[in-house]
């Protein structure tokens, strides 16, 4: 069984949470994130991206989510990915969309 562990403001933070959980070997699913590109008739509040995990790992996942939320109090500037031009929140060093590091490829 799956349980919702996080409701994100935007697709980027949902994917950031998924990445965070993945780093701790917790599988998760992001739901609703693609509705943003469909646009139009669905009110934003009804297509907030959600992160779901198995109930077996829910407690641990929830802890990690809360931890990451408390870390968000430290405001770091958003950055734009050099490769795909997506906006990323400052505390993440890797693009949520294409996994390119913030610094980009050094040349």
Chain residues binding Zn ion by CB under 5 A are 81, 83-84, 86, 95, 97-98, 100
Structure tokens at 3: 């349980």
| Shortest spacing between CB 95 and Zn ion, in angstroms | 3
Strands 2-7 vs 28-31: parallel, antiparallel or unpaired: unpaired
| Shortest spacing between CB 80 and Zn ion, in angstroms | 9
CB nearer Zn ion, residue 35 or residue 94: 94
Residue partners of 89: CB distance under 8 A and separation at least 6? 12, 13, 16, 72, 76, 78
Asked if 100 contacts 84 with a C-beta cutoff of 8 angstroms, the reply is yes
| Shortest spacing between CB 31 and Zn ion, in angstroms | 22
CB nearer Zn ion, residue 60 or residue 83: 83
CB nearer Zn ion, residue 55 or residue 87: 87
């Amino acid at each position: 069984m799956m349980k919702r562990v996080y409701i994100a403001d935007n697709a980027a933070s949902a994917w950031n949470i998924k990445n965070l959980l993945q780093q701790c070997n917790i599988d998760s699913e992001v739901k609703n994130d693609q509705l943003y590109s469909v646009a139009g008739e669905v009110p934003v509040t009804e297509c907030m991206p959600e992160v779901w995990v198995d109930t077996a790992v829910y407690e641990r996942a929830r802890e990690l989510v809360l931890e990451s939320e408390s870390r968000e109090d430290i405001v770091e500037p958003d950055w734009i990915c050099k490769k795909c031009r997506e906006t990323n929140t400052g505390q993440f060093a890797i693009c949520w969309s294409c996994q390119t590091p913030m610094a980009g490829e050094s040349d």
